[in-house]
Chain A
């Protein structure tokens, strides 16, 4: 196994009385694709917000590339890229302008930002619409731009928070292939999704969260093996067994 790249230790985060993250610890190794699964309100997005330096944990710490998110957040931000669950784009501007702007924000100079922006839009199948305003794009195209922005600066660690939620199959497939390609290039990725078969196929290991805690963590095959022959059960079976079948419409 390669060297640890992200080490989270005893993370806690509460909002008023609600414990969103309740003492989780895990390690992601360099080049690994790590899936974070859980029902709505399990604490996945809060965890990503802590890991990406947006939120400070109430207790515990995370080191990324050896830097603490509490004490060296500037250094951490040089290593990460974040694709948030909700679209985070300037929709009045073109796709290219969005990518170039965020490229400049992650430290690229103008020429590199433009070159990378064009390459990423090509990768996402959006080269021909590079100069189109984002607010004129379909939901799937916006999702692809959202992912492309997070790749600017070639981050060493990429956080993908449900990047394929609610989009058409073609866009989902494009994103899926892109993520598979990034994984193949050795990028370290933390991935959350509700699509269990995606996690099963893409992730080296997955952690299942519920109620702010990690209730299981292993390779998809090992997790499947916990409830039956690994080739006959799915990760979704494991997920439902561990988290129950009750609906989770709680406030996140």
Chain B
């Protein structure tokens, strides 16, 4: 019975200490909220919003004007007109990455049946926003070209029929407008899992990086105990080192879980990006990952002799795992970096969270990742215990 009670008493003690330090308490609870606020600011806009930078060298042409009108009608797209010299200099200075040029004679060529050509000038690939804007412009231009062909063919077919050309034009125009407003072919999105929200691309990495802070916190709890002298005193009581480890492990697991719960809960409430099941599955993943990270913190706490040592060793491991885990950049499918990434617990955590959050998968799809993380948790606890014994002054 005492085997269970003593670790819980260590947990309760740590919680009481934690509650005594109001600043620590506030910071640790505010941190996930602050991260969420940043996330909301960065990714909260669910719809694309961009600007098409246009140089219109065909200012009197009715088709160029129509093209600009059509672009302005696109949801989330603003059109900003520039003079050619202004656009060129901004492109040179990289103030703009992509500009649409409507050349002189664009409308005249269309009217006369010749090929009319739009030109994009861009720096490099034009940037993510530029590429999206270019795709929208292409779609609008193709739609206009098709409408123009319909008008031409109808006029050609009815030539000589005696029908009034104006009547033909009005009738065709009415047909085309109805088609645009209520198209024959529509494209819908049927989400079968996960969330279509842009935030789901980044939430997994943010959650895993945030949870990794637990390495430092866990390592420090053990070293702080040593610094206070209470560690040695505890070692003269009936509390075993194993019970102490379990207590410290549970404390940090609980703290990490509360923080992850706040972060994921706010994401659920604000972005509506979870189903109840996927939310629970994400929390389960978070618990396993925090367990792995906490046990790694215990390894560091067993080795470090000062709080500074603990902090810097933990920061080194955190940064290495974040880098190798693909948080900041894509890990290639093969090669040395890919092999190294397999040694980062973050890789497995990121994969698992992406599968659940972004791809609508279930825990059954992330069995391997869960086994690896749980394995790290168990091995970390055992290794931490061994290191605690073999380090100078250990028992």
Interface contact B228-A90, CB-CB below 8 Å: yes
Name the distance in Å between B395's Cβ and chain A's nearest Cβ: 6
Interface contact B232-A84, CB-CB below 8 Å: yes
B167 within 8 A of A: no
Name the distance in Å between B1's Cβ and chain A's nearest Cβ: 11
Contacts of B238 in A (CB 8 A): 74, 77-78, 105-107
A91 within 8 A of B: yes
Q: What is the interface residue range for chain A against chain B? A: 20 to 34
Interface mask (B195-239 → A, CB under 8 Å = 1, otherwise 0): 000000000000000000000000000000000111011111111
Contacts of A104 in B (CB 8 A): 5-6, 9
* Partner-contacting stretch, out of B15-23, B249-257, B291-299: B15-23
Contacts of B16 in A (CB 8 A): 93, 97
Interface contact A90-B229, CB-CB below 8 Å: no
Interface contact B232-A88, CB-CB below 8 Å: yes
- A residues 170-200 touching B (CB-CB < 8 Å): none
Name the distance in Å between A216's Cβ and chain B's nearest Cβ: 28
Provide the bound-state CA to CA distance between A53 and B236, in Å. Answer: 6
Of the residues B6, B17, B237, contact of A77 by C-beta under 8 Å: B237
Interface contact B228-A105, CB-CB below 8 Å: no
Q: What is the interface residue range for chain B against chain A? A: 20 to 34
Contacts of A101 in B (CB 8 A): 9, 13
A55 within 8 A of B: yes
Interface contact A54-B237, CB-CB below 8 Å: no
Contacts of A91 in B (CB 8 A): 228
Of the residues A15, A54, A78, contact of B235 by C-beta under 8 Å: A54
Interface residues of A: mostly helix, strand, loop or mixed? loop
Interface contact B228-A52, CB-CB below 8 Å: no
Name the distance in Å between A136's Cβ and chain B's nearest Cβ: 12
B156 within 8 A of A: no
Q: Which residue of B lies closest to A104 (CB)?
A: B9
A36 within 8 A of B: no
Residue of B20, B240, B392, B393 most packed against chain A (CB within 10 A) = B20
B2 within 8 A of A: yes
Contacts of B393 in A (CB 8 A): 54-55
Interface contact A88-B230, CB-CB below 8 Å: yes
Q: Which residue of A lies closest to B393 (CB)?
A: A55
Interface contact A54-B236, CB-CB below 8 Å: yes
Contacts of B21 in A (CB 8 A): 92
Of the residues A49, A78, A89, A133, contact of B228 by C-beta under 8 Å: A89
A5 within 8 A of B: no
Provide the bound-state CA to CA distance between A86 and B236, in Å. Answer: 15
Provide the bound-state CA to CA distance between A102 and B228, in Å. Answer: 14
The verdict on A54 contacting B232 (CB below 8 Å), with A15-B392, A77-B237, A104-B6 known, is yes
Provide the bound-state CA to CA distance between A81 and B6, in Å. Answer: 18
Contacts of B392 in A (CB 8 A): 15
Provide the bound-state CA to CA distance between A30 and B228, in Å. Answer: 32
Name the distance in Å between A107's Cβ and chain B's nearest Cβ: 5
Q: Which residue of B lies closest to A102 (CB)?
A: B237
Interface mask (A94-110 → B, CB under 8 Å = 1, otherwise 0): 00010001101111000
Provide the bound-state CA to CA distance between A29 and B21, in Å. Answer: 46
Q: Which residue of A lies closest to B243 (CB)?
A: A105
Q: Which residue of B lies closest to A87 (CB)?
A: B229
Of the residues B20, B229, B237, B239, contact of A92 by C-beta under 8 Å: B20
Provide the bound-state CA to CA distance between A106 and B234, in Å. Answer: 9
Q: Which residue of A lies closest to B16 (CB)?
A: A93
Provide the bound-state CA to CA distance between A145 and B392, in Å. Answer: 29
The verdict on A86 contacting B229 (CB below 8 Å), with A55-B395, A92-B20 known, is yes
- Extra A-B contacts (19), CB below 8 Å, given A55-B393, A84-B229: A49-B232, A53-B236, A54-B232, A54-B235, A54-B236, A54-B393, A77-B237, A82-B233, A87-B229, A88-B229, A90-B13, A92-B17, A93-B13, A93-B20, A101-B13, A104-B6, A105-B237, A105-B239, A133-B20
